[in-house]
A = this chain, B = another copy of it.
Amino acid sequence: MVCRFYSIDFRTSGEDDFVDVTKEVLECVEQSAIPAGIASVSVRSTTSSIVVCENEAGLKEDIRDALRKIAPSEKEYRHNEAWHDENGRSHVKATLTGQGITLPVTGSRLLMGQWQSIFLLEFDVKPRTRTVDVAVVG
């Protein structure tokens, strides 16, 4: 069994930023030189998330719309009463989209579909630095 860890910091531009981390994750998996196994990609955060989707500008707007419907900006959030950082909606969106994905690794490459990209989604209301962890076991 080999296990390799990588942590990569990404700077986001703030609310609703989609950061495509696919290239960096693929490089970690390749560097691991693990021929067969699985890789978990996760973010150490409660106001951002990791999802898989197509990298297409219009789609990003559609996903933002859907999440705004679930957690609208104009709603009063009880979380804001505790911290006054106005990111109640960010927490809700992050919780519903999730903090990680696990994918198969073969030939030191992630098994991904042609249109799949891995995104770090920023929901916080200001720019943040996010640590994405890539763990490859095999």
Is the CB–CB distance between B95 and A63 below 8 Å?
Answer: yes
Chain A interface residue count, CB cutoff 8 Å, equals 65
The SS class assigned to the A binding surface is mixed
Judged by a CB distance under 8 angstroms, whether A103 is at the interface is: yes
**Contact among B38, B53, B105 with A46 in the assembled complex (CB-CB below 8 Å):** B53
Q: A104-B135, A138-B1 are in contact. Are A92 and B62 (CB under 8 A)?
A: yes
Q: List 7 A-B contacts (CB under 8 A).
A: A40-B102, A46-B52, A51-B98, A58-B82, A62-B89, A70-B70, A99-B116
Interface contacts beyond A69-B70, A102-B102: sample of 9 additional A-B pairs, CB < 8 Å, sorted by A: A1-B1, A45-B113, A58-B77, A59-B92, A61-B78, A62-B88, A62-B91, A63-B91, A95-B97
